[in-house]
């Protein structure tokens, strides 16, 4: 009985994390999947969102601004708005770079954001982080509280999914793919490439901010240690690539598969004799890397490839998938 309850608790916890990562992956899908922008600074926007919501909703603490104690929903909307606002000047400057260069610039931007957060004591409480962030239904007992939060995350994820998915077949989504696949042709059609790219960058960043806010409220705290590129940037990239960039269901599936492997593999390695306990922990880092290699080698389009020609939900679906060229 206790074990069943424990498993349920663990599954709920995993569900919440998968939901949060799925939102991050959907944000990245707008940027990379739809628009071909190589943003390697997810952690930065994740952090902006997490801290914005933390500052808006947490109780007063000495030594930093805050104590607004606004409703959580305001915090989340604020997180999206501020993450989008921060993305605007960054996109304005950095989106002139193409592919690899944008990746390098965005890694740098994420690092700048991390250092600002660590240094601006008055704003973010510096290296100590922000504590006692309210969690909706956080006063309920353990299981109920997790169920309630999972429900919230699922609702938010559903809203985000529907919104992003609708854009796939909408003119905006088609235009973005045109910009991605053939910039010259799109320019010839009179599309304002720079402006459209900036739009996609800001929308994606806002979703990443939302993911950060959801995480901060779930942990009831946010510290600079959470802005670790390994878990906040590269894991999300692996999720999207494995799931299938350009496909929103793929992004969600990728988030689920990668997080489950990441988390459950530790349970498996724990069965090794405890002399190997320390070494065994590195296996999962290796597993994730191996998985990425295998996917890139044997299935570069991901588990659920991008439906070509806007085929999804369209009656005259031409399901014949031709391998897409790399970006």
Q: Pull the structure tokens for residue 58.
A: 């947490």
Is there a contact between 139 and 145 (Cβ–Cβ < 8 Å)?
yes
Q: Is 130 helix (H, G, I), strand (E, B) or coil?
A: strand
In contact, 135 and 218? CB cutoff 8 Å: yes
Q: First-to-last CA distance in the chain? A: 51
Token pair 């570069």: residue: 300
Q: Which of 65, 162, 163, 230 binds another protein (CB under 8 A)?
A: 230
Q: Does 282 bind another protein (CB under 8 A)?
A: yes
**Candidate list 100, 101, 142, 317; residue touching another protein; CB under 8 A:** 142
* Per-residue mark of binding to another protein, 283-312 (x: CB under 8 A): --x---------------------------
Does residue 37 interact with another protein by CB under 8 A?
Answer: no
Show the site string, 65-94: x = touches another protein by CB under 8 A, - = not: ------------------------------
Residue with tokens 């950060």: 212
Dist CA 177 CA 182 (whole Å): 8
Phi and psi based region of residue 190 (left: phi greater than 0; alpha: psi -120 to 50; beta: remaining): left
Sign of CA pseudo-dihedral 55, 42, 99, 188 = negative
Nearest to another protein of 175, 231 (CB atom) = 231
Nearest to 310 by CA among 174, 131, 108: 174
- Interface map 143-162 toward another protein (x if CB under 8 A): --x-----------------
Span interacting with another protein, options 73-81, 177-185, 245-253, 308-316, rule CB under 8 A: 245-253
Binding site for another protein (CB under 8 A): 2-3, 5-11, 13-15, 17-19, 22, 61, 63, 115, 118-119, 121, 125-129, 131-132, 135, 141-142, 145, 215, 218-226, 228, 230-232, 249, 252-253, 255-257, 260, 263-264, 266-268, 270-271, 274, 277-278, 281-282, 285
């Amino acid at each position: 009985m206790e074990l069943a309850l424990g498993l349920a608790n663990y599954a709920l916890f995993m569900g919440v994390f998968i939901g949060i990562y799925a939102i991050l992956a959907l944000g990245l899908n707008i940027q990379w999947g739809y628009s071909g922008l190589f943003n390697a600074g997810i952690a930065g926007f994740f952090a902006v969102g997490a801290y914005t919501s933390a500052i808006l909703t947490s109780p007063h603490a000495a030594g930093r601004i805050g104590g607004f104690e606004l409703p959580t929903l305001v915090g989340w909307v604020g997180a999206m708005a501020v993450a989008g606002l921060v993305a605007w000047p960054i996109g304005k400057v950095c989106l002139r770079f193409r592919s690899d260069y944008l990746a390098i610039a965005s890694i740098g931007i994420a690092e700048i954001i991390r250092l600002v957060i660590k240094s601006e004591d008055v704003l973010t409480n510096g290296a100590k982080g922000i504590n006692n962030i309210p969690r909706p239904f956080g006063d309920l007992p353990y299981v109920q509280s997790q169920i309630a939060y999972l429900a919230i995350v699922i609702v938010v994820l559903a809203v985000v999914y529907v919104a992003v998915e609708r854009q796939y077949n909408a003119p905006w989504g088609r235009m973005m793919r045109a910009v991605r696949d053939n910039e010259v042709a799109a320019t010839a059609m009179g599309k304002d490439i720079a402006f459209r790219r900036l739009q996609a960058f800001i929308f994606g960043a806002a979703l990443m901010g939302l993911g950060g806010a959801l995480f901060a409220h779930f942990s009831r705290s946010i510290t600079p240690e959470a802005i670790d590129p390994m878990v906040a940037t590269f894991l999300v990239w692996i999720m999207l690539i494995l799931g299938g960039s350009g496909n929103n269901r793929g992004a969600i599936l990728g988030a689920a598969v990668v997080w489950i492997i990441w988390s459950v593999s530790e349970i498996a390695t724990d069965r090794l004799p405890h002399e190997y306990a320390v070494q065994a922990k590195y296996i999962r880092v290796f597993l994730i890397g191996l998985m990425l290699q295998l996917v890139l080698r044997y299935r570069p389009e991901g588990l659920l490839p991008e439906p070509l020609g806007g085929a999804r939900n369209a009656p005259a679906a031409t399901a014949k998938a031709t391998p897409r060229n790399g970006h």
